[in-house]
Homo-oligomer: A and B are copies of this chain.
Amino acid sequence: MQSVKKRTYSRITREATELLGKLIRLGRKERKMTESELAGRAGISRATLQKIERGDLTCEIGLFLEVAVLVGVKLFDADSSQVVLMHIGRINDKLALLPQRVRPSVKVDDNF
């Protein structure tokens, strides 16, 4: 009974993960795969797959996305996934333009 992990997540984070889990479960059933089958293909245990489909926030993002890919879930969005992925080049450019280090001279504006 020592040091119970006390982590808080925003509503957006919780809903997004829950959604992704449901999309995975939906994709799996549409393809008529059992939990064991999908877990086997993904190289994970059935217990972990159950956590993922349940939307457990503590699962590794790699496992989460890997399972999603296996059941045909389009990452990031329905039909613009490729567009988003292609943006990775432009993001590199934008990163290169920014100063390599951040030095907050004043104060960071808390816009929440």
Residues of A within 8 A of B (CB): 7-10, 12-13, 15-19, 22-23, 25-26, 28-34, 37, 43, 57-62, 64-66, 69, 75-78, 80, 84-85, 87-88, 91-92, 94-95, 98-99, 102, 104, 108-109
- Contacts A16-B85, A22-B88, A77-B76 given: A102-B62 contact, CB under 8 Å? no
Q: Are A102 and B29 in contact (CB under 8 A)?
A: yes
A19 cross-chain contacts in B, Cβ below 8 A: 84-85, 87-88, 91
Q: Are B17 and A62 in contact (CB under 8 A)?
A: yes
A94 cross-chain contacts in B, Cβ below 8 A: 26
Assembled-state Cα–Cα distance A102/B66 (Å): 21
